[in-house]
Amino acid sequence: MGSLAKGMRDAFFDTLFSIALKNKDILLLTADIGAICHDKFRKSLPKQYVNVGIAEQNMVGLSAGLALTGKKIYIYSIIPFLAMRCYEQIRVDICCMDLPVKIIGIGAGFDYSTLGPTHHGTEDIALMRFLPNLTIYSPSDNLCASEIARKSSREDGPAYIRLDRTGYPPIYRDSGKINMRLGFSVVKGGKDLCIIASGNMVYTALKVSGRLSEHSASCGVIDLFKLKPINAEKLICAIKGLSHVVVLEEHCLSGGIGENIAALFLSQMGQCPRLKLLGIPDRFCAEYGKRESLRRACNLDVGSISNIILEWIKK
């Protein structure tokens, strides 16, 4: 997996900028949240870039109005200030109207670790997946983020895209391996069990898979980058024959992708594999520290996950 790569945010907006150069109907709106990758928009495409100030709810309403004029809008802010503060506006102004507004949330999971629970993006999937008409994406690396930027620019209707600031070693070397039609990719095959993960946790899942192989457990990894709608039929085919499946997420277990996948398996599979859901427990993580220390507090570090899975499959 090599050294650190460009962050998801930079990759996403670099690709979006190249698309916006050719499409004057693409506009980027921000709520006074700066990012170096936005400088290209501000300097080279000033008529396609709007900073509304610290007024996220107003930004959502403005995006809806602009979308009604035929523009394709991208709005951007930190996850709690966008997905949570603006929930009513997103529901009524964007989703009810089925408008082509792409909601870009930065700071997935514990990305803003040292800023505390007010800045953690740990409940957003639960909120957003209940909104009709809304597609949800969660890329696992910079190349996946770039592909989602391209796909979102071609899609009508609203979408929520949760990004990570951090650069991780790349999951993909070839964009052809990212199956945008399926919404997930099998990044590693396994004979005994499989970990379904999303976002930056895909990298963690691959490290856990390596640990498990030291204990003679063949563990596959699936990158689920399209969280809604999930291609249930194809996902079930991908895990068919396995006795154990783990869903790993840096998100609250309540309302997360694990609960969604569990419901899909129960409703559509004749014989379900044993299923283990690993995520953030039903509490706010008030510990102070870097991302890895918060993960350890929630048993989401590589060592804790590996031990939990090994104990589980031995039983």
**SS3 call for 221:** strand
Domain boundaries along the sequence of the chain: 8-163, 179-314
In whole angstroms, give the CA distance from residue 57 to residue 86. Answer: 5
Q: Which of 69-78, 181-190, 281-290 has the lowest mean pLDDT?
A: 281-290
What does the pLDDT look like over 220-245, one tens digit per residue?
999 999 999 999 999 999 998 899 99
What does the pLDDT look like over 144-169, one tens digit per residue?
999 999 999 999 999 999 999 877 78
Read off the pLDDT band of 6 (50, 70, 90).
Answer: confident
What does the pLDDT look like over 36-65, one tens digit per residue?
878 899 999 999 999 999 999 999 999 999
Mean pLDDT of the 286-292 span: 89
Pick the CATH number of 8-163 from 3.20.20.70, 3.90.600.10, 3.40.50.970, 3.30.2320.20: 3.40.50.970
CATH 3.40.50.920 matches 179-314: yes
Mean pLDDT of the 90-108 span: 97
What does the pLDDT look like over 237-268, one tens digit per residue?
999 889 999 999 999 999 999 999 999 888 87
In whole angstroms, give the CA distance from residue 212 to residue 276. Answer: 15
Better-predicted residue by pLDDT, 92 or 266:
92
Of 34, 25, 81, nearest to 58 by C-alpha is 81
Of 299, 312, 144, nearest to 212 by C-alpha is 312
Q: Is the pLDDT at 2 greater than 70, yes or no?
A: no
**Peptide bond preceding 229 in cis form (omega within 30 of 0):** yes
Better-predicted residue by pLDDT, 267 or 213:
213
Same fold for the pair 8-163 and 179-314: yes
What's residue 35's pLDDT? 77
